[in-house]
Each structure stands twice: as C-alpha cells, then as structure tokens.
Amino acid sequence: HGSQGHIAHADATASDGGHALSEVVPKKKKVVLLGTGWAGMSFLKSLKDPTYEVEVVSPRNFFVFTPLLPSVTCGKVEARSIAEPIRNIIRKKNVDISFSEAECIKIDPQNKKIYCRATIDSHSKGEEEFAVDYDYLIIAVGAQVNTFNTPGVVENCHFLKEIDDAQKIRKNVIESFEKASLPSLSDEERKKILHFVIVGGGPTGVEFAAELHDFVNEDLVRLYPKVKDLAKITLLEATDHILNMFDERITNFAESKFGREGIDVKLGSMVTGINENEISTKARGNGKTTSEPYGMVLWSTGVGPRPLIKEFMKQIGQGNRRALATDEWLRVEGFDNIYALGDSATINQRKAMEDIAEIFKKADKDNSGTLTVKEFQETLDDICERYPQVELYLKNKQKRNIVDLVKEAKGDAAKESMELNIEEFKAALSEVDSQMKNLPATAQVANQQGAYLAKCFNRMEECEKNPEGPPRFRGTGRHRFRPFRYKHLGQFAPLGGEQTAAQLPGDWVSIGHSSQWLWYSVYASKQVSWRTRALVVSDWVRRFIFGRDTSG
C-alpha cells in the first residue's frame, strides 16, 4: 500500500492529469511565515504537523533574544551569544521548512501571493525580487522605532532594536571616552563628547541608562582616569514618571536610585528636535525650550508600524492604525487565511456590551426570557474566555460574587426575585468593557501568540471538521479553537548595580539583589537553545571575573 502512495505522489506532481491520484496524497498546504523574531521563532518551534510546507521569509537569518540587547550595548554580553541561527531551529524539525533571506515588500491577498526582495548583499547582481504563493500567510514582522517625526532623530540618534544597533552603541561609547582623552581638547569639548542622552524612560531606556552608568563607574573610570568626572548621563522622559507601566514602588525606587547616582532624570521633557550638536527639549509645565550639547543620543520611545504593514492596512481598509487588527484567533480581520501576531498586530477585542443580547440568549437555556443566578453562573466561564475584560472586572471587584452582582443590578427588585431580565443583565455587566486593554508590545506576548498559533495549525484538520463557527459561549464543541488568551508572567526592570525590580502577577513587587538573581536565572532559562544559554552564562561569569571588554 505504501509504495502505491509513493507512486501516486510522484504521478501527481509530474502531471496535472492525475486528478484522482492527487487526492490520494493531497498537496501539502503552503504556509508562508514573515519574520524570524519572537513571534515567528515561537511559531516554528511549536509547529509539529508534518502535513504543512513552510517557507520562512525574513531579512534576518537569525533570532535575537531582545531582552539581553541592552546588556550587549556595554559589553556585559557578547552579540553572538544572543543570536540563534534560524537554520539551527528548523533543522531540528520534522516539518518541511525552508528559509529565504529577503524582506516582504507587498502582500496581495486576492491572489494569495507575496512579493519579496532579497536582502543579501551581492556585488554582481542588483536587487533580486521574487513572488511566493501561500495557502496561509503568517505576518510576524514586528514593528519599527517610532520617531514621532521629530526632526533630526533619524540622522543623529542611535536606536536599540537590532544586534547591529547594540554593537554600534558599544563602539560609540568606548570611542567617546577615547576621543575625550585626546590632548587637544578643551574641557568644554570633553564634557560635550561625554554627555550621553537617553530619550524615553521605558524599560529599554532605563536599562540602558543603568548599564551605561555601571560601565562608566565599574570599568571606564579606572581606564580613563583623566576624563572620568566629565561623563554625564541624562534621561529625558515626556511624562511625569519613568517606568510608568510598572508599579509605583518600582518607579519611585528607580527615580531615587538614579538621582543618587547622578543620572539626570528630566521628567516632563519633550524632545522637539536634534541637530548635530544639540538636543532641544520643551518642558511640559511652562513650555520653556532648552537646548543642550550632547555627544551621543539613544532614542527609545516606543514602536510604530513598518511600511509594509502601513501599506497593507491601507490596502484592506484598516486605515491609520497603530498595528494590524486581528480577531481573537489572530486572524487579520476579513481574511480566513492571513494571521498576524506580535508587535505588528493588535487584537480587536470584542466589547461584551455589543454582543449582550446574544450572550443573554445563549445563557437563557430554557428560553424563559430571564436568567437565574444558576444560568448566569453556568455561562460565566465561557463569557470570560471570550471577553477577558469580564474576568478582570470580577477580579477587580474581588468581594463580589455573582449573587452580589445580581443584587446590585436588580436593586430593590432583588427582594422579590433573583432572575435577571435582559436590561438587568446589561446593568450587571455594564462596566466590564472599561477593563479592556491592548496587550503590550512585548516578547512575552509575541512568544505566547506564536505558540498558540502553532497549536491551532497542529490541530487545524481536526478543527476544520468542527469549524470554529460562532463565539465560544454560543456552542459547546470541544474541538474548536479557543481564542488566544495572554498569560502575564511578570516583568523585570534591571536598574544597575546588580539590582533589578521585578513585578510578578498579583502585583507582587520585589526590588534588589535577590531579584537580580531571579533575573539571571529566568533569562538563562528562557534562551532558545542550549548553545546560546551556555554562551550567555559564560559571558556573565567572564564579566564578573574580568569586567567588561573595552576594546572599541
């Protein structure tokens, strides 16, 4: 039987005539994956179903462990240690996966085709362009640095997004100290060269400021004794606080630690422009503008959509959004075979209030027009799965159980009956949508989405037999996909001096040396391969013993 199947396959691919035969061995479904970052890598690692043929297209043939990029900027970790060749990852799979080093420049959903341009430097040939057909397209191209169109940023600032960026920063820091040590300069000039400015008080900007401070004070002061006192670090933040996505305790700790260390944190400072010599800011309170000479600027103020995504959103009528909108199953709105995840996408979470009539109807199993407490309770899990905001709402109202919710919605009428009509049901849930939140643009989200999508693909066949159909609370099929649900595992903010702030689920906050050890162990364990794990750990050990490498 086996040999027959083999022949049938050969026949079907050799000519189109063997229609009956090609049904015996169906053609593999072609999945095209754009991007080899967190989302893409995680999808590849979790994909198991060998009935797919996968083509990966990315301008980068390696995955980067981005949380350790700030460590590369000051030589705590080597660049190579945080990059894993994508071919190492796909080689280990029993799924048919190929890779093309190219960037996608256009998506044509009508013809199920993408257009690509090779990014390999070639001396002889010009730019190579090609098209790829797909059955399923997975968009995981990430996002790009957002400059908010501030003049001079692109020309004069460093960014920290890729390995090259981190290496350039490291070289620039060391070169600055060399330059400032030359005999011909005035002190004024030296001060300018050694003025390091960071724009953006988010986790990346703060971690870089801390790394740089440690680098200067632990290694460079000994090596450049003449100029050590001239170095200055300024952190500019447009809002009232740095690390404002973290618990207040962490923000306060970081601000006062930086204050003690002489890192100049300027809150409420909007950068209005940067030229070759000066950076200009506007103070939020009084609108006063000031300009300061600088030697080096790191721009780290968040991300926006890549040109490919902007163009695609225009094409499909999503207009001017921050990211590509998908449903809770990560499908691009309006397309059954295009998925988007990670930083390039955002989930268009449904509002419970918009579906309230449907929810009510489904919950009212006996069609009585009213819901008993029991009926309400029984649908609640399904409601929470489809509308995570409901779960958040209930959690935030801790003490309140369903009976209390019902009592509150019915007011005085609760004394007579505990059954809810639709209006009362609406009232009970009226505030839940205020709990809706976009997921952050983090590796944690991208990683979980990649794994989720791969699981869906692994089970696609099974699920096609039981189509996803209506939202979960309206059905009971066990084989359908569940919508993607993010599980927050916590977040770190390294603050320098072997101290880290950790905020774990349930707003559990810990700051200090012990969380630094937690940080080391979490980031060692999250490495994508044993190879990078070994490299990263040995970099850490080397740094403890010998300090950072300062050759520029």
**Among residues 281, 274, 284, which one has the least CA distance to residue 239?**
284
d(CA 266, CA 279): 13
Measured at the alpha carbon of residue 214, what is the angle toward residues 208 and 215, in degrees to the nearest 5?
A: 85
The partner in contact with residue 444, picked from ligand FAD, Mg ion, none with C-beta cut-offs of 5 to 8 angstroms by kind, is ligand FAD
Give the x-and-dash track for 293-322 against Mg ion (CB under 5 A).
------------------------------
Binding partner of residue 366 among ligand FAD, Mg ion, none, CB cut-off 5 to 8 Å per kind: Mg ion
Nearer to ligand FAD among residue 132 and residue 420 (C-beta): 132
DSSP reduced 3-state for 339: strand
373: CB partners within 8 A, 6+ apart = 402, 403, 406, 418
- Contact mark string toward ligand FAD, 190..219, x via CB under 6 A: --------------x---------------
Q: Does 57 bind ligand FAD (CB under 6 A)?
A: yes
Return the one option of Mg ion, ligand FAD, none that residue 500 interacts with (CB less than 5 to 8 A, by type): none
Near ligand FAD by CB under 6 A, which window of 67-75, 210-218, 245-253, 357-365?
67-75
Q: Considering only residues 389, 444, 503, 550, which one is a binding residue for ligand FAD as defined by CB under 6 A?
A: 444
Q: Which residues lie below 8 Å from residue 41, measured CB to CB, with a gap of 6+?
A: 63, 84, 86, 89, 450, 528
Q: How many Å apart are CA 139 and CA 103, to the nearest integer? A: 12
Note whether 33 and 55 are within 8 A (CB).
yes
For Mg ion, which residue of 33, 54, 56, 64 counts as binding (CB under 5 A)?
64
Binding mask 350-369 for Mg ion (x = CB under 5 A): --------------x-x-x-
Round to whole Å and give the CA distance between 34 and 194.
Answer: 40
Q: Which of 320, 302, 260, 273 is nearest to 161 (CA)?
A: 302
* Count of residues of this chain found to bind ligand FAD when the rule CB under 6 A is applied: 33
How does DSSP classify residue 482?
P
Between 237 and 375, name the residue whose CB sits nearer to Mg ion. Answer: 375
> Is 339 a residue that touches ligand FAD (CB under 6 A)?
no
Over the Cα atoms of the chain, what is R_g?
27
- Smallest separation, CB 478 to ligand FAD (Å): 31
Instruction: Check residue 441 for interaction with ligand FAD (CB under 6 A).
Output: yes
Cα torsion angle, 305, 310, 312, 318, sign: positive
Phi-psi region of 64 (alpha: psi -120 to 50; beta: other; left: phi over 0): beta
Of 31-39, 44-52, 205-213, 470-478, the window that binds Mg ion (rule: CB under 5 A) is: 31-39
Q: Catalogue the E-assigned strands of 242-395.
A: 264-267, 269-274, 278-283, 289-293, 296-299, 303-304, 324-326, 338-340, 345-347
- 295 forms part of the interface with ligand FAD (CB under 6 A): no
| Residue 364 interface partner, choices Mg ion, ligand FAD, none, CB cut-off 5-8 Å depending on type | Mg ion
> Binders of Mg ion: how many residues, by CB under 5 A?
13
- Residue burial 315-332, b: 16+ Cβ < 10 Å; e: rest: ebebeeebbbbbbbbbbb
Of 141, 359, 384, 390, the one binding ligand FAD by CB under 6 A: 141
Q: Which of 45, 54, 58, 535 binds ligand FAD (CB under 6 A)?
A: 58
Query: Residue 478 burial (CB < 10 Å; 0-12/13-18/19+)?
Result: exposed
- Judged by CB, which is closer to ligand FAD: 36, or 234? 36
| Contact status: 140 vs Mg ion (CB under 5 A) | yes
CA separation for the pair 147, 164 (Å, rounded): 19
- Say which amino acid occupies 318: Q
Residue 343 touching ligand FAD (CB under 6 A): yes
71 binds ligand FAD (CB under 6 A): no
Q: How far is the CB of 531 from ligand FAD (least distance, A)?
A: 19
Give residues 500-519 in contact with ligand FAD (rule: CB under 6 A). Answer: none
Binding of Mg ion by 160 (CB under 5 A): no
The site partner of 57 among ligand FAD, Mg ion, none (C-beta below 5 to 8 Å per kind) is ligand FAD
The neighbour count for residue 168, using CB atoms within 10 Å, is 15
CA–CA distance, 305 with 234 (Å, rounded to integer): 28
Instruction: Tell the smallest beta-carbon distance from residue 459 to Mg ion (Å).
Output: 22
* Smallest distance, Mg ion to C-beta of residue 64, A: 5
Which listed option, Mg ion, ligand FAD, none, makes contact with residue 59 (CB within 5 to 8 Å by class)? ligand FAD
Q: What single-letter amino acid sits at 78?
A: E
Q: How far is the CB of 144 from ligand FAD (least distance, A)?
A: 8
Say if strands 52-58 and 29-34 run parallel, antiparallel, or are unpaired: parallel
> Interface with ligand FAD by CB under 6 A: which residues?
34-40, 57-60, 66-67, 69-70, 103-104, 140-142, 160-161, 204, 306, 308, 342-344, 441-444, 446
Instruction: List residues binding Mg ion (CB under 5 A).
Output: 35, 37-40, 64, 66, 140, 345-346, 364, 366, 368
